[in-house]
Structure 1
Amino acid sequence: MRPQVVAHRGASHEMAEHTLGAYVEALDEGAGALECDVRLTADGHLVCVHDSTLRRTASTRGRVSTMELAELAELDFAAWKNPWSDLDDEAPDRDETLDGVLTLRKLLETVADYDRRVEVAIETKHPTRYGGLVEKRLVEMLRDFGWETEQSPVRVMSFSFTALQRVERLAHGVRLVQLLDRGSTWPMVRRVIGKDWIVGPGIRLLRDWPGLADSITKSGRDIHVWTVNTEEDLDRCLAAGVKAVISDRPAYILDLLDQRDRAAQ
């Protein structure tokens, strides 16, 4: 079965991650789902930012959790990706409305208005100074969209088991993905997570722990793998029966899958 292709932070290989431009590009490329990380600002807004600090993606000091949304809106979250673009006479003009800080609400509105069903995989980042308030605000927003039910296009991911338990209590119908970055933790994790939870190992774990995917599948749980950017790793996922591949290069992965579909005809 063909896996869902999930755009990791948008089409982040070509464009600045977590910008609206990166997500619009991923949608236009045909991604079946979008992945984002969320953090809470000082004034209670959920924004799509991976790092706790702003140094890498906004070239400034400060932490997301200590700044208000209006302050973040003054920053450029895209220039770091192509720092020399201003010197390139042939570079396309930038649309600054696609380059600023992206709120989760704006991303979900974009998905809701799109002309086909698109799913969203939202990762809550921990530890954070706001603790469980992150999941509380997230579920409140999902309710605003009517997306807290089993039919929701949203699934929530985290490395934090406790965070996912919070979501389960607040919105029982939303699908949950327990992320894994160490194969040695799987025997313990499999005993505590819900029977219908999805398991999300990194691609490195599938390389280094050959029996892991089979063990997860035998436990009755689906597998979503991050971050799959090469043909070799895609083939590894296909062999393992992975249900979703999260990639910085959604167009490339979709093209590889199309090639395999044509070859199988």
Structure 2
Amino acid sequence: MRRTPRIRRRPPRPTRPQVVAHRGSSHETAEHTLAAYVKALDEGADALECDVRLTADGHLVCVHDRDLRRTAATPGLVSTMNLAELDELDFASWKNPWSELDDEAPDRDPEHGKVLTLRKLLETAADYDRHVELAIETKHPTRYGGLVERRLVETLGDFGWDRAGSPVRVMSFSVNAVSRVRRLAPDLDVVLLVDKAHHWPVLRPVVGDDWIIGPGIDELRDHPGLGRHLVKAGREIHVWTVNTAEDLQICLDLGVTAVISDRPAYMLELLGR
């Protein structure tokens, strides 16, 4: 039997958009570390955003770049390394390289600066004392292709989060990746990320009626027509990466339902004024 597609109608304008911590509270704390996510939760973030990549031995880890030069000071590739090898690296020191010389700096839990597995992040969110949502981005291109989405949906299934009512939504710049998630888990919310305004007319005919659209704030600022077209089409909009009061106002004017920010505490402060 052919499945009847869900039609996502543009929801009523919320009192405020959901504040999503981009790679954790990453403005001040090293991205994708457990410390960054715990800080974001403690600051009141409504949701957590992460990027996931697959290791050589099949683990999903929260890392943005395909190589580790920027965040772990090594030329290694995530996809060619086992989890045990990644676990030996320091993913936090690059953010504050002089912290060890600061006698007044608080002691850092070594575990908070290690590579973070997606499973650990999901456990952290599940165990927190309030409802927390997650926006998980699969990175492409990758040598593992569609295995990334299959492994992701399997992992979500271990938490019962691969079905309707899940606190998780899956994002990607790849139409194929988003389509794959929808086939594997038809009731999961999905977000197609858009990094160029002029791509939208090409993408529009192949995008599902109920897909959320995730434009970058730079494109909304530089090409206001993109936001107007999305609103007119009744699309739910999640925007990245929103870090200033001016950019937040653009989102408020459009009635977006989520802002993804490196500075979740600052966004919450602005929204509370």
Q: CA deviation at 1:220?
A: 2.0
Counterpart CA distance in 1 for 2:235 and 2:113 is 37
The one-letter code sitting in structure 1 at the alignment partner of 2:219 is: L
1:28 aligns with 2:42: yes
Tell me the residue number matched to 1:262. Answer: none
Runs of 4 or more above 4 Å deviation: none
1:70 aligns with 2:84: yes
Q: Alpha-carbon deviations, 1:103-161, whole Å to 9, x = none?
A: 00000001111111100000000000000000000000011110011200000000000
Q: Which moved more, 1:62-71 or 1:180-189?
A: 180-189
1:203 aligns with 2:213: no
1:61 aligns with 2:75: yes
From 191, 197, 213, the counterpart of 2:205:
191
Name the count of aligned residue pairs: 259
Q: CA deviation at 1:218?
A: 1.7
Tell me the residue number matched to 2:119. Answer: 105
Counterpart CA distance in 2 for 1:51 and 1:129 is 14
Residue aligned with 1:39, SS:
strand
Counterpart CA distance in 1 for 2:93 and 2:66 is 19
Counterpart CA distance in 2 for 1:129 and 1:217 is 36
So what's the TM-score if we normalise by structure 2?
A: 0.94
Q: CA deviation at 1:79?
A: 0.4
Counterpart CA distance in 2 for 1:182 and 1:223 is 15
Tell me the residue number matched to 2:98. Answer: 84
So what's the TM-score if we normalise by structure 1?
A: 0.97
Residue aligned with 1:80, SS:
coil
Where do 5+ consecutive residues of structure 1 fail to align?
260-265
Residue aligned with 1:211, SS:
helix
Q: CA deviation at 1:188?
A: 1.8
1:173 aligns with 2:187: yes
Counterpart CA distance in 2 for 1:81 and 1:111 is 24
Where do 5+ consecutive residues of structure 2 fail to align?
1-13
Tell me the residue number matched to 1:141. Answer: 155
Tell me the residue number matched to 2:141. Answer: 127
Tell me the residue number matched to 1:240. Answer: 254
TM-align CA RMSD: 0.6
